[in-house]
Amino acid sequence: MRFVTACRQYLPQLVLLVLLANLADVDFLIGLGTEANANALHHGFTHSLAAAVFVALAVSCVWRITGSFWRSAILCFSAYSSHLLIDLCTGTKLGWNATASAIPLLWPSAKEFSSPLVLVVGVSHKDLPALFSMKNAWSSFYELLTFGAITVALLALRLRHAQRRTMSHNRETASRTVCTSNSIR
Ligand SMILES: [Zn+2]
């Protein structure tokens, strides 16, 4: 119940973080608009740490999603750069191979980085039939399952931690009450 209430309370912040986590792929639209080719500018500046820092600071100037500017900026940066981390580990074949996407992580340096370990099979986006293919449906299902499991595990750990804190707080309060009643007697 507490989780559902928190989700409702922080829904606008959650929506913003989801948008930021996907913002790097706006280069598809820029390529489509400027070069009439969605892939023309893909994996460029928007897939860099500089873009993550810039977006995090700019968003936090406009809207602090938590109490302080810096906490908000760190959250926005984490959301944006989670995309970069996943892209680094995305390739055409799972496992230890050289198929991961290369991205200019340290832009303006032209050097491109990729992980030798591929954890996610990338979706094909060369044309519309490829975009809506069964292969892409399976890739999306795999991502949903993997990241869903990670999210559930993190939530379970968080819940356990909160329960332990509540229990130790209750124990402390009970022992303090006993001490106070003994000293009154
Ligand atoms: Zn991307």
- Distance (angstroms) between ligand 1 centre and the Cα of 161 equals 33
Ion ligand 1 nearby residues (CB, 5 A): 24-25, 87
pLDDT of 100 higher than 80: yes
Q: What is the mean pLDDT of residues 13-39?
A: 89
- Distance (angstroms) between ligand 1 centre and the Cα of 125 equals 12
- Distance (angstroms) between ligand 1 centre and the Cα of 2 equals 33
Surface-to-core class of residue 171, CB atoms within 10 Å of its CB (0-12 exposed, 13-18 middle, 19+ buried): exposed
pLDDT-derived band of residue 26, with 50, 70 and 90 as boundaries?
very high
Q: What is the mean pLDDT of residues 130-136?
A: 86
pLDDT of 41 higher than 70: yes
- Distance (angstroms) between ligand 1 centre and the Cα of 166 equals 41
- Distance (angstroms) between ligand 1 centre and the Cα of 78 equals 15
- Distance (angstroms) between ligand 1 centre and the Cα of 69 equals 26
- Distance (angstroms) between ligand 1 centre and the Cα of 165 equals 39
**What does the block give as tokens for 92?**
């055409």
DSSP code per residue over the chain: -HHHHHHHHTHHHHHHHHHHHHGGGGHHHHHHHHHS-TTTTTTSGGGSHHHHHHHHHHHHHH--SSSSHHHHHHHHHHHHHHHHHHHHTEESSSEESS-SPPB-TTTTS---B--SEE-EEPPP-SSHHHHTSHHHHHHHHHHHHHHHHHHHHHHHHHHHHHHHHHHHHHHHHHHHHHHHHHHH-
Q: What pLDDT sits at residue 185?
A: 66
| Residue of higher predicted confidence among 67 and 160 | 160
- Distance (angstroms) between ligand 1 centre and the Cα of 51 equals 12
- Distance (angstroms) between ligand 1 centre and the Cα of 57 equals 20
Torsion of CA 52, 100, 103, 126, to 10 degrees: -100
Q: What pLDDT sits at residue 112?
A: 94
Q: What pLDDT sits at residue 172?
A: 86
- Distance (angstroms) between ligand 1 centre and the Cα of 83 equals 6
**49 vs 76: CA distance, rounded Å:** 12
Please tell me the pTM assigned to this model. 0.78
pLDDT in tens, 46-84: 999 999 999 999 999 999 998 899 999 999 999 999 999
